[in-house]
Amino acid sequence: MIKENIEIIRQKIEKSVKISGRKLDEVRLMGVTKYHSLDEICEAAPFLDFIGENKVQEAEKKKGNSSAPRNIPWHMIGHMQRNKIKKAVEIFDLIETIDNIEAADTLQNVLAKKEASPFPIFIEVNVTGEESKNGIPSVQAENLLCHILKNCSLVIPTGLMTMAREVADEHELHKTFATARMLRDTLEKKTGARLPELSMGMSGDFEIAIEEGSTIVRVGTSIFGIR
How many of the chain's residues bind ligand PLP (CB under 6 A)? 13
- Comparing CB distances to ligand PLP, the nearer of 111 and 164 is 164
Phi, psi of 74 (to 5 degrees): -105, 130
Residue 218 in contact with ligand PLP, rule: CB under 6 A: yes
Cβ atoms of 100 and 144 within 8 Å: the answer is yes
Separation of alpha carbons 65 and 112, rounded Å: 28
Chain positions 109 to 128 lying near ligand PLP, rule: CB under 6 A, are: none
Question: Where do runs of H (alpha helix) occur along the chain?
Answer: 2-19, 38-44, 56-63, 85-91, 101-113, 138-151, 170-191, 206-211, 221-224
Convert residues 161-180 into a mask of x (bound to ligand PLP by CB under 6 A) and - (unbound): --x-----------------
Least Å distance between CB 215 and ligand PLP?
14
Taking CA atoms, 139 is separated from 122, 151, 210, 220, in Å, by 16, 20, 24, 29
Nearest-Å Rg of the Cα atoms of the chain is: 17
Q: Which is nearer to ligand PLP, 50 or 119 (CB)?
A: 50
Among 17, 85, 141, 202, binds ligand PLP (CB under 6 A): 202
Site string for ligand PLP, 44-83 (x = CB under 6 A): ----------x----------------------x------
Alpha-carbon span 209 to 186, nearest angstrom:
19
Which lies closer to ligand PLP via its Cβ, residue 32 or residue 183? Answer: 32
Work out whether 32 is an interface residue with ligand PLP (CB under 6 A): yes
Query: Interface with ligand PLP by CB under 6 A: which residues?
Result: 32, 34, 54, 77, 163, 202-204, 218-222
